[in-house]
Structure 1
Amino acid sequence: MTQHTAASGPLAGVTVLDITRVVAGPFCSMLLAELGATVIKVEHPDEPDYARTFPPMVEHGDDEFSAFFAQYNRNKQGITLNMKTVEGKQLLRQLVRKADILVENFRPGTMEKLGLGYEVLKQENPQLVYTAISGFGRTGPNASRPAYDNTGQAAGGLWSMNGYADRPPVRVGTIIGDLAASLYAAIGTLAALRQAERDGLGQVVDISQQDSVLTLTENAVVRYTTKGEVASPLGNDHPFVRPYGSFPCKDGYVFFGGYTDKFWRITCEMFGEPEVADDTEIDTMEKRFDPAVAERRVTPLLARWFGQYTKAELEEMAGDRVPLSAIKTIAEVVEDPHIAAREMIVNVPVAGKLVRMFGMPIKLSEAKSRDHVKAPTPGEHNAEIYARLAGLSAEEIAGLAERGVI
């Protein structure tokens, strides 16, 4: 069994019951664990989190372990619990008495059907912060609908905006609905925890994937409500800022965002053509914002300038002067010296090996670097957690296991 040392960090001493699965939820609780909380992952003894089967897998002898699962469940402890049994329900209520936070991502109403909804659990612990993540939230006509990440992208409007104007809409190339919901859940949970510690009052933190995605649509809502304009796919273009997008170079593509008059003049000088900055057709931001002018004058200029150099050469030229960045592959990002300096690739044990994963983007000046603990196997910490938080003896824990409760 993995031994967990006393956690450090701003959330040290905070106990989280994590009964979530896949990503929308596990990512939220992983962030809390990274900040020092003791996070206990709760799984059904016969039906553990099916993200454990998601690739890539890391082999160790005859066994294998999901690096995907490990990425979102590192630094947690693990127990099993069948909440459909009478004894399982009672056990969860006992654990809640010693917990500060519970995070779940079932469809709204599921916990209530189990007899374990917030109204029941707060009787056990009035200070409990109950964080619920779902596709459409706990209120509204669509609350009971099933949802995945793509549901959030579709229902939140993001899918309709992504891609190219002459092609069908394209989903964002990552599970942005799950990730955004988890981030808002972490923020809401910490706010509710602050109030619980101050006023002794717990509450429900209600997070919807659709709501979360909607807030990522930038100016699309106000464009519609003020001008009646419906956002549509623009490819790599921006709705009103130019030049601001992807441009080809000798060995790939770069992002260039030198749209202000200051940055445009520096760019012209950088490529040895300072007189271009005074060309009366493109000498102001407003003129360069015009789509026809940008296509006819600005884009060809950038293509000619950038086409002479590689991504690395352009980044070196731009330096601290203008916003220009290579559009990097994941391989290039993982090996990026700046990413390394920011400790954004960390080593996490998986199946007896160290696997490099993304690190913690929240940097606290007083926080110390930590060694990461592997994600738990199902029920790995049953004996420790049920003894410590529920006061059960070894014989009682063994009996629960025999009866399929844990």
Structure 2
Amino acid sequence: MIPTLPLSGVRVADFTRVLTGPFATMLLGDLGADVIKVEPPGGDDTRGWGPPFQMGEGGRESSYFLSVNRNKRSVILDLKAPAGLDAARALVAGSDVLVENFRPGTLDRLGLGWDALHAEFPRLIYATITGFGLSGPYRDRAGYDVVAQGMGGMMSYNGDVGGPPLRVGVAVADVFSGALITQAILAALYQREKTGVGTRVDVNLLESVISLGSSQVGRYLATGEVPVPVGNDHRSIVPYGTVRCGDGYVNIAVGNDALWRRFCAALELTELGADPRFATNEGRVEHRAALDARMVGALAAFTRQELMERLDVAGVPCGPVNDLAEVFADPHVQGRGVAVTVPHPTLGETTVTSPPWRFDGEALPVRRAPPTPGQHTAEVLAELGGGPDTR
């Protein structure tokens, strides 16, 4: 374990719920911040999202909640009650960062908005996550991942050729927004070291999805061409994507002409390698359908293992299409310690993913299991100089 975690000494008042905000504050907790998760009476909505639930002698916990709330402490505060609001203000007073994902204006009405808090606590960094931003016609709309994926264009170019719009199977608008706001918070902490003053940063789901579109968006802006779904293929590189072999699927990434020649040699595809139509990537893109038709039969002769072994030896990037059971059985994933089992107050123990970074080669620890509702209320209120009646 590294001696001092990067954000050790930083306190985060976490007024977020569901996914985007909790994912962001989990990352801050992973980096060493003391994240105080403020939950309403009844807890974060995702505590009830299930099945599936993990069962233990002390109760059950939603797998959804467990997935994004490690390395935090939980307090229950009723922000509609004066005592709860006073406790929340005390928490903010002792915090470096406030993160919230309420609809615009909600915390302003409670006296916990940016203008009021910045005037009173000028060093506070105030991070806001919304569906559509703090201005514009859609400002007051609630934001959800599926809505953002659709409105941001992602569903129009994701999916099978000729198929209907398809949502990405992970809540990428939520998760990417959470990662972006974390990045902004880290930059704001660095800026505060130079200026002594906190700032407000904000991210919204819609613009995060548009940003995540990357090359698809860039292609449209450059050419006016509206991208359509191409399945697992790549619009500008061939072959690049998922291929079927005798007993399963493998992803290959033949990113240049040298790799193409090695690909053909490794699989003894002499005829394909000699075809002038396929000698360059531009030609392979132009003649994609013809190449795909000829590769189908050729690759069916190999098992998944045979295909990957040959391509590995040749240095052609490839990998199996795994289900999650195969992912966590993979010796590399196991060797990297991606899954970590930690003690839990009601479950006995639970398994979560580890923080995704290494510092000086060392993994960051899971210091705390995802908390039970209000598990740390008394502890945190005592630190703030209050008592349990402030809830």
The structural deviation recorded for 1:251 is 1.5
SS at match of 2:351: strand
Q: Which of 166, 177, 182 is the matching residue for 2:178?
A: 182
Deviation of 1:280 (Å): 1.6
Q: Report the more deviating stretch, 362-371 or 195-204.
A: 362-371
Instruction: State how far apart, in whole Å, the 1-side matches of 2:329 and 2:233 are.
Output: 28
**Contact residue 354 and residue 365 of structure 2 kept, 8 A:** no
User: Quick check: 1:9–1:367 contact (8 Å CA) kept in 2?
Assistant: no
Where does residue 357 of structure 1 map in the other structure?
A: 352
1:255-334 matches, within 5 Å, as 255-274=251-270, 276-290=272-286, 293-296=287-290, 298-319=291-312, 321-334=315-328
For 1:99, the equivalent position in structure 2 comes to 95
Q: Secondary structure at the match of 1:58?
A: strand
Matched position secondary structure for 1:140 = coil
In the TM superposition, what whole-angstrom CA distance separates every residue of 1:218-264 from its partner, at most 9, and x where no partner exists?
22223222221111111122222111111111111111121411011
Q: What SS does structure 1 have at the residue aligned with 2:212?
A: coil
* Aligned residue identity for 2:282: E
Measured in 1, the distance between the counterparts of 2:174 and 2:215 equals: 21
Deviation at 1:54, TM superposition (A): 2.0
Number of residue pairs the alignment of both structures matches: 386
1:130 aligns with 2:126: yes
Give the aligned CA root-mean-square deviation in angstroms.
Answer: 1.8
* Cα 1:357–1:317 shift into 2, 3 Å: farther
Q: What CA distance in whole angstroms lies between the structure 2 residues aligned with 1:51 and 1:168?
A: 29
Letter in 1 for 2:263: T
Q: Structure 1 residues 60, 111: closer, same or farther in 2, change over 3 A? A: same
Once the two structures are TM-superposed, the CA of residue 49 in structure 1 deviates from its matched residue by: 0.3
Task: Select the residue among 252, 266, 273 that pairs with 2:248.
Answer: 252
Mean alpha-carbon deviation: is it higher for 63-72 or for 177-186?
63-72
1:129-151 deviation per Cα after TM superposition (whole angstroms, max 9, x unaligned) = 11111111112221111111111
Amino acid at match of 2:53: M
SS of the equivalent of 1:106 reads coil
Deviation at 1:105, TM superposition (A): 0.7
User: C-alpha distance in 2, partners of 1:369/1:142?
Assistant: 39
- Aligned amino acid, residue 128 of structure 2: A
What one-letter code is carried by the residue in structure 2 that aligns with 1:305? A
Q: Identify the range of structure 1 (115-124 vs 58-67) with the bigger mean alpha-carbon deviation.
A: 58-67
TM-aligned CA deviation for residue 337 of structure 1: 1.3
**Alignment partner, residue 15 of structure 1:** 11
Q: Which amino acid is 1:211 matched to? A: E
State the shift of 1:123 in Å.
2.9
Aligned AA (2:389): G
User: Deviations 1:66-92 (Å, cap 9, x if unpaired)?
Assistant: 222122111111111111222322222
Matched, 1:66 2:59: no
Indicate the SS of the match to 1:213: helix
CA contact (8 A) 1:107 1:134 kept: yes
Moved more, 368-377 or 98-107: 368-377
What letter corresponds to residue 200 of structure 1 in structure 2?
G
User: What is the alpha-carbon distance in structure 1 between the residues aligned to residue 235 and residue 63 of structure 2?
Assistant: 38
Q: 1:349 to 1:140 in 2, by over 3 A?
A: farther
Provide the rounded CA distance (Å) in 1 between the counterparts of 2:361 and 2:330.
Answer: 25
- 1:118–1:130 CA contact under 8 A, matched in 2: yes
Equivalent residue for 2:38? 42
Q: CA deviation at 1:368?
A: 4.9
SS of 1:40's equivalent?
strand
The alignment partner of 1:215 has SS state of: helix
**Partner amino acid, structure 1, of 2:334:** A
- 2:74 corresponds, among 58, 72, 78, to 78
Distance 2:282 2:16 in 1: 49
1:372 shift after superposition: 4.0
2:285 maps to amino acid: F
Percent of aligned pairs sharing the same letter? 38
Question: Among 190, 196, 202, which residue is 1:194 paired with?
Answer: 190
**Residues 398 and 369 (structure 1), Cα distance of their counterparts in 2 relative to 1, 3 Å cut:** closer
SS of 2:98's partner is strand
Question: Unpaired segments of 5 or more residues in structure 2?
Answer: none
**1:349–1:372 Cα contact (<8 Å) kept:** no
* Residue aligned with 1:375, SS: coil
TM-score (norm 1): 0.90
How much has 1:274 moved relative to structure 2? Answer: 4.2
TM-superposed CA distance for 1:124, in Å, is 3.1
Q: Which residue of 2 aligns with 1:403?
A: none
Do the aligned residues in 1 keep the contact of 2:66 with 2:352 (CA within 8 Å)?
Answer: no
* TM-score, with length taken from structure 2: 0.93
Of 238-247 and 81-90, more deviation after overlay is shown by 81-90
2:30/2:366 contact within 8 Å kept: no
Match of residue 242, structure 1, among 238, 245, 254: 238
Distance of aligned partners of 1:225 and 1:329 in 2 relative to their CA distance in 1, 3 Å threshold:
same
8 A contact 2:357–2:363 mirrored in 1: no
C-alpha separation in 2, matches of 1:71 and 1:21: 13
**Secondary structure at 2:358 match in 1:** coil
- Give the drift of 1:381: 1.2
From 33, 52, 64, give the equivalent of 2:47: 52
Residues 352-361 or 248-257, more deviating: 352-361
Q: Say if 1:136 and 1:209, in contact at 8 Å, map to a contact too.
A: yes
User: What is the Cα deviation at residue 192 of structure 1?
Assistant: 0.7
1:144 aligns with 2:140: yes
- More displaced stretch, 14-23 vs 271-280: 271-280
Is the Cα contact below 8 Å between 2:70 and 2:366 reproduced in 1? no
